[in-house]
Structures are given as structure tokens and as C-alpha cells.
Amino acid sequence: MTTTFVRRMARVSALAVASVLTAVTLTSCTAAEECAPTIATDGVASVVTATGALGTMPTLDFPQPVVAEAPSLHTLTAGTGDTVRFGDYVDFEAVAVFGADGSPMTSTAYYADQHERLSISAEGSLVAQSFHCQTVGSRVVLVGSVLDIFGDLSANGLDNDATVVVALDVLARYSHKAEGAAQPAQDGMPAVVSAPNGEPGITLPKTAAPTELRVSTLIQGEGDVVAEGDTIVAHYTGLLWDTGIVFDSSWDRDKPANLVAQDFTTHDGAGVVPGFAQAVIGQTVGSRVLVVIPPALGYPEGSSPQSIPFGSTMVFVVDILGIG
């Protein structure tokens, strides 16, 4: 595969991801409800087979040409992990080829340590809907027209009516927000409320900033314990104590971040600021953590981004959704 082809694939893939993220709904099945795919599972997708290990680009095989009268979905390999439902995030890799002759159309990068991530929505694209009710570790195939799966790509020189075969590897699933038991708030700390989708609203007290690290677990999750050096999957909002200005939020991107739970000042720049590392190490997956980081445990002089003046007290609300 040439570099030019990889770049072309990435551009088309970005269009698909963008369409998925334009509409996010948080309706989901409960554990007791039956999970039913929203895409037909009895169509032409069942003629497709694939070889290759999960997480690596598979070789697809099917009678050519294959023509989709309507979109259909077929599970090639059923995983044994968690079930993905609307409202979750999923890590995945995907490859698309044309049904006429099996020639390549687009693909994700298939990096071993960095996968695509998107929010699964009932109102999103067919790519997003394909993950609903699938289990982690599965490989599924979606067949439909270019228009059905990727939207109008006629400006890219593609025939919107052409059939496309897409193989999707389901590699990880994460909740949309922290899940667990609410914990009592600490005196003197910012007040935190949550929107229905979990995004926090933060009100700062009208007092001087703490001079020591303050950590308050607002929701206690029941998952694995975060160890130093773990890569956590987390939603976060960060703001300045003095001004209340939000300098960064993964919620704005609707994509949880991968963060290494270690002090970047002692690990050759890999990790997070010391106070953030101390706050998340020892926490459990599913937890929401409120942390106030004094300047001494923040960015050393000369290393902070422009949005965070040196000497700032930072406030973070962090939802720990998983360990990568």
C-alpha cells in the first residue's frame, strides 16, 4: 500500500467520521432489554468473508460484482467482550472496498496502539449504527451504497450509487460518562452539576485558590484501579481558578482522550502534569474526579500552553471511562 493511497483513505474516512459525530443521542438499551440491530441482517452482506487477525486490515472476499439494493449488516466473527449500545463510544478499525471489483476505497490507519474512536448514535451514519448490539472483539461487514454509508461524495469523483463493502473491527467500548455511586462533596471545592449527556457544569467558589492539591471523588466507579503508567480513556474539562475560563474540554470534541497516568516532568515529557497524575492514580474506572491543582504541581515555567498562564491554579473534572 502506497503512502498516497493511505492519505487518500484518511481523507475519505474523515468524512465518514464527521457524519457520525454530527448527531449524538444518548438513548440506550438497559441490560435487561433485548438489543436489536437497526440495520437489516439478512441482506447481501452475508456473502462476504474476511481473513486476517482482528485489528489488522483484513482481506475481503465476495462474489463480484456484489450489488446492494439496500444496506445490510453481517457479523463475520462474534466477540466475547462488552456489548456496544447507542450512547457508548467505540474504538474501531475499518476498511472499505468497492463491490464491483474489490478495489480499495478507504481505510483507517490500523495503528496497533491508536485506533479510531467515535460516539455511537441512533441518528448517526450507518457506520455508527453498525456497532449497535455488537460485542467487543467482533468483526462485522456493512454493505450499501456510497451515499448510504458515506453520504454524498460525488464532489470527490465517486459514484454515489456504487456498492461499497466495509469491514469493521470492534476493538473497545466505553461508557459516555462516569457511572457509579455519588459521593459527598467536599467543602471549599467547586460545585459540579451534569448535563444529561454527562458534560459537567462547574461553579467556582469566590475564595482564594487552595495552595495544596485537592482531590474529590464525585462518583465512585466499580472498575479497575488506575496504576501509574496506565493509559486512561477519559473525558475532562479544565478551567482556570482565577478567571473561570475553560482552556480545554474533550466534551467539546465529543471524543474522550487517551492520557498516560504519570508525571510528564519525570518521564521525558510523556504523561500529564504532576497534580493530574496524582489525582487519577488509584482511582477506579467509572469514577468522576474533581481536582484542584496548585501551580507547584502544574506546568513548570516555559512548558505551559498559551491558554494556561504560568502560575495558574487549574481545575479539572475527569470522567475515567476505561484503561487502554
Contact 118, 255 (CB under 8 A): yes
Considering the entire predicted model, what is its pTM? 0.87
pLDDT tens string 235-290 = 999 999 999 999 999 999 999 999 999 999 999 999 999 999 999 999 999 999 99
pLDDT tens string 144-193 = 999 999 999 999 999 999 999 999 999 999 999 999 999 999 999 999 99
Domains of the chain: 3-174 (3.10.50.40), 181-323 (3.10.50.40)
Q: Is 12 exposed, middle or buried (0-12, 13-18, 19+ CB in 10 A)?
A: middle
- Grid coordinates representing 281 are 492514580
Q: What stretches of 117-273 show up as alpha helix (H) in DSSP? A: 126-131, 146-150, 250-253
Query: Cα 227 to the chain's mean position, in Å?
Result: 21
Provide the sign of the torsion angle of the four alpha carbons 69, 70, 71, 73, taken in this order.
negative
Q: Which residue has the higher pLDDT, 89 or 9?
A: 89
* 89, containing H or E segment: strand 89-98
3-state class of 99 per DSSP? coil
**Residue labelled with grid coordinates 467543602:** 187
Nearest to 319 by CA among 189, 226, 187: 226
Q: Is 30 left (phi over 0), alpha (psi -120 to 50) or beta?
A: beta
* 274, containing H or E segment: helix 274-280
